[in-house]
Amino acid sequence: MPAVALPQRRLANAIRALAMDAVQQANSGHPGAPMGMADIAEVLWRGVLKHNPKTPQWINRDRFVLSNGHGSMLQYALLHLTGYDLSIDDLKQFRQLHSRTPGHPEYGYTVGVETTTGPLGQGLANAVGFALAEKTLAAQFNRDGFNVIDHHTYCFLGDGCLMEGISHEVSSLAGTLKLGKLIAFYDDNGISIDGEVEGWFTDNTAQRFAAYGWQVIGQIDGHDSEAIRAAIVSAHADTTRPTLIICKTVIGCGSPNKQGKEDCHGAPLGAAEIVATREAMGWEYGAFEVPEDIYEAWDCSVKGDVLEKNWQGQFDAYQKAHPELAQELTRRLKGELPASFELQAKAYIQEVANKGETIASRKASQNALNAFGPLLPELLGGSADLAGSNLTLWKGCHGIQENPAGNYVFYGVREFGMSAIMNGIALHGGFIPYGATFLIFMEYARNAVRMSALMKQRVIYVFTHDSIGLGEDGPTHQPIEQLASLRGTPNMSVWRPADAVESAVAWLSALQKNNGPSSLVFSRQNLAHLERDALQLDNISRGAYTLVEETGVLEAIIIATGSEIELAVRAQQALTAQGKGVRVVSMPCIDVFMAQDVAYRNKVLPPEVRARVAVEASYADYWYKFVGLDGKVIGMTTFGESAPIKDLYQHFGITVDAVVEAVNSLS
């Protein structure tokens, strides 16, 4: 084919031209990274990457992650040129409202984009998650002669990604776990937004990654196709270590007056410089114009179709030899729960209700995992060095560091890294990841938690030690504002259960939710069992329900969650003895409750009843949305203190007497 004879630099220049044209038209964006990494991308995407543009979700495709997501036009140009459903008109709409080419790659917007990147370093973390998922899924399902799960994860990253602390967290773990199919290309151009990085980034990157247990290749010339190709061959040859290929590049390569400078990092080249760049590159075509011979040379559809058909033949043979395994793998990759799971889970919830144990909700969570875990082989759990406190290890757990086919990751003290890796695991498919830490340390993980919600991924966060009830560890470990922060995150479901029954329901709800993450918030201290009838038991899953009915005419409502429910019930009993008609509403999950129909919400919280008191040992101001400005909130307005739990609740006025007084002041 004529395309074979085309110079690789000319093929890479198609990326450069499209990137500078799109950024110029948008008058916004980052042309420097796409132009600088174009030669690396050409070698990888045309000659190495295993993918099929016509079947973007093919199970055994290689995963590609652009961690330096500000260079999004690099990825869009690659997708367009190789034959994905991304047109030249889509590229012309770069960074425009509702376009398929947003400013940073966004999962779900653009076909072929595997993950949302932009917050630097998190793409690398997602890539570690992809590689971890591939290795574990392969160990669970591959059999002799049938490597049905067998692909690589490739990640582009820049100086900024390596400056972010998360890069240390995840790269260290990747080396420890020997993720040999993870290959990262470091765009070592020496430039960031503020200029030459030598003033603030002088790490010996090669030694750093070697210390992590990575194979390090380079520096190589990132504009030398043969050197790039040889580096990839060496990366593939080492199957026990992830590989970092250090590519020395020139940012904005091709621009005669701006290459190598911060001027081209995050701003259009300008009309005059684009003319000069076209001339310097020998690019004789107009804006957004790509000649047919270049399109033909770039098109990966035929090759991709052959790759997929060859794999499908292998999978068909695998299906005949191992029908049950094939069926299970297909189910898991579709993200479907076993058909019988909901029925079995509800039977377990009824058992918990019948048993009526007074236990910490973190222990109730572990009990739920022991019940649900054997039913869900797709569970891939973990904890940030707190497994014994978070109680996320259940009887069937096996660490993947000892058994690649296991189901538990010991993440170490890496809350941020853990959360971002879980995003990669969820995006890969085949697993439902859950990971745990103390609620207060959600703050370390916050941006990755946000990314779970932004991408609507089924990631389950287990947050224990949920309030000042932590006690003697003091304010550094006592969460105050974290619940409000999580509840304010779109697409996030936040459950704070009041006892073992609500804890089991929370787990079921999180497992069934396939359009976003869930945060399960559990107590350190024991919580009393609450009696419920069948209707109340069913209504837990609706996010809020009437736990204790009023006697006589309804005069006031007490709303509470978690460990404060018991306190609310005792206050209601005292008020009933005074002749007041008071209701207790348990509200374990606010977003689920707010998604219910108006009739149900008004039944639980009649709008005409304005005498309302909310009780929760966390940030008080959040609750005014339910009690109104004329209601009262018993909660926290300061940080905590170090003291035994009983002393803390008394000190901060979160008491039965305080609730009784608040209700009496309103009704």
CB count within 10 Å of CB 392 equals: 23
pLDDT confidence of residue 4:
47
Q: Which of 415, 502, 550, 564 is catalytic?
A: 415
CA distance 207 to 405: 31
CA distance 103 to 101: 7
Q: List phi, psi (to 5°) of 147.
A: -95, 70
Alpha carbon 433 to chain centroid, angstroms: 10
Among this protein's residues, is 415 annotated catalytic? yes
Orientation angle between helical segments 341-355 and 361-372, nearest 10 degrees: 140
Helix (H) or strand (E) holding 440: none
Pairing state between β 215-221 and 243-248: parallel
| pTM listed for this prediction | 0.98
Contact, 519 vs 592, CB < 8 A?
no
CA distance 206 to 635: 51
What are the DSSP calls for 564-585, one per residue?
Answer: HHHHHHHHHHHHHHTT--EEEE
pLDDT confidence of residue 2:
37
Helix (H) or strand (E) holding 244: strand 243-248
Task: Collect the ranges in the chain with pLDDT lower than 50.
Answer: 1-4
DSSP state, residue 300: -
Beta strands in 110-229 (DSSP E): 153-158, 182-188, 191-192, 195-196, 215-221
Note the pLDDT tens digit of each residue in 499-514.
999 999 999 999 999 9
